[in-house]
Structure 1
Amino acid sequence: MTFAPPPETAAWRHLDSRAGFEVAYFRPLGDGHRVEGCTTAVEEGLTWIVDYAIDVDAGWITRRAEITGRSAARSRHTILESDGEGRWRVDGVPAPHIDGCFDVDLESSAMTNTFPVHRMRLTVDAGSEAPAAYVRALDLVVERLEQHYVRVPDEGPVRRAIAGLRPDGSCQRYHYESPSADFACRLVFDASGLVLDYPEIAVRAR
């Protein structure tokens, strides 16, 4: 199962829990990709900005993530590095609590759900655990987030109309669960493996 190459850029509008926008740019990096992006938001009366540059290898395993967060109270910066075998360093210090993870997942981003679906390349009805190095939006604290993906049949309409994007049967759908966050939903991805519809979180704008 293969995906189309990522577009040069994509964008998402936040939903429900916060107001804001995310824009990402995809660049070739050796056999892999660099994704550079920015998310701005208002959440519970607070404004924040998260900038990121994330490098993935040919198998879409995250190898490096440089993240900067800004709010009225402070600015923060952190760097995550992986050896590609599931061992991590955060700001140069070993981080055994996220060992065994292969993806970075940003609380601020809908884009980062791209990484596990590309990496796992699940067939219909197949599922897999996908624990991630999860970076909080306001303080950039790095946690372990347990996640599970099951690919479901590629049928049914996208829940929201998305300007400029017309699902044509190339969409993929996944049942997503995060037991630690007590959250589950149905994720819809386009032919490039980018989220189109993330219920309660974000919807593609471009």
Structure 2
Amino acid sequence: MTTSRAVTWDVMASHGYETAWVVFDGQTLRARGRAVGTDPEPYWVSYELDTGDGYVTRQLRVTTETPEVTRTLELRHDGRGGWTADGEPLPEVHGALDCDLGLCPLTNTMPVLRHGLHRAAGEREFLMAWVSVPDLAVRPSVQTYTHLGGADGGGRVRYASGDFRSDLDLDADGLVVDYPELATRLTPR
């Protein structure tokens, strides 16, 4: 069954906003999003994200614009653990299943959905292909997601990476409702 959602977040970490159009189709996700931020400098971001079965990232296309420069990135996953950035191999993120676009609450969704962590007990550690914004550098990031409880079909999941920890509130679709220190979803009027 295919469902579509439009979500907007107040992204406190960048002093900006993000809106994404998300399509769920079975065990896949497609999204288009745009964000504007002012920290670390004024920037715009537009992205397209496609996953394969099991919500495994297949491709992330990103464009960032600052007053001085426009950057683009095409990040691809071959489905077997290999990654490329603009066609160049990224051996440092080999084995990762997901991308994580910096300051983007949407990209927390894939590992949560794959393992049902917003609905059921469990803890999982992931290697992610983390993309910083606005420079679009790709780096490995080890992240842990831990189920803390459920409510109204959604749940609470602890995100941890290095010394950073935050307890995320997620809806029934695994989308972030509240990510303390990063973003809070705005509700339509």
TM-score normalised by length of structure 2: 0.91
Change in Cα spacing, 1:121 to 1:30, as seen in structure 2 (3 Å) is closer
Residue among 181, 184, 188 paired with 1:200: 181
The alignment of Structure 1 onto Structure 2 pairs a total of residues equal to: 186
Q: Equivalent residue of 1:59, what SS?
A: helix
Aligned to 2:157: 174
Q: How far off is 1:184 after superposition? A: 0.3
**Any unmatched runs of 5+ in structure 2?**
none
- 1:150-191 per-position Cα deviation (integer Å, ceiling 9, x unaligned): 111225xxxxxxxxxxxxx22211111101xx2001111001
Letter aligned with residue 173 of structure 1:
R
- Cα distance in 1 for residues equivalent to 2:161 and 2:67: 30
1:65-76 to 2 correspondences below 5 Å? 65-76=60-71
Q: Equivalent residue of 1:43, what SS?
A: coil
- Alignment of 1:43 onto 2:24: no
- Alignment of 1:185 onto 2:166: yes
Aligned to 1:33: 29
Q: Percent identity?
A: 32
By relative contact order (CA 8 Å, sep 6+), the higher-ranking structure is 1
Letter aligned with residue 183 of structure 2:
A
Residue among 18, 21, 37 paired with 1:22: 18
- Cα distance in 2 for residues equivalent to 1:22 and 1:70: 15
Change in Cα spacing, 1:117 to 1:6, as seen in structure 2 (3 Å) is farther
Q: Equivalent residue of 1:137, what SS?
A: coil
- 1:3-58 per-position Cα deviation (integer Å, ceiling 9, x unaligned): x965431110012x3311000012367973321001101114x2001110010112
Q: Equivalent residue of 2:174, what SS?
A: coil
- 1:81-139 per-position Cα deviation (integer Å, ceiling 9, x unaligned): 11122211111111101111111111131111111101222363311112211111021
Residue among 7, 10, 24 paired with 1:10: 7
- 1:52-84 per-position Cα deviation (integer Å, ceiling 9, x unaligned): 001011210000111101101211001011112
TM-score normalised by length of structure 1: 0.84
- Alignment of 1:99 onto 2:80: no
Q: How far off is 1:197 after superposition? A: 0.6
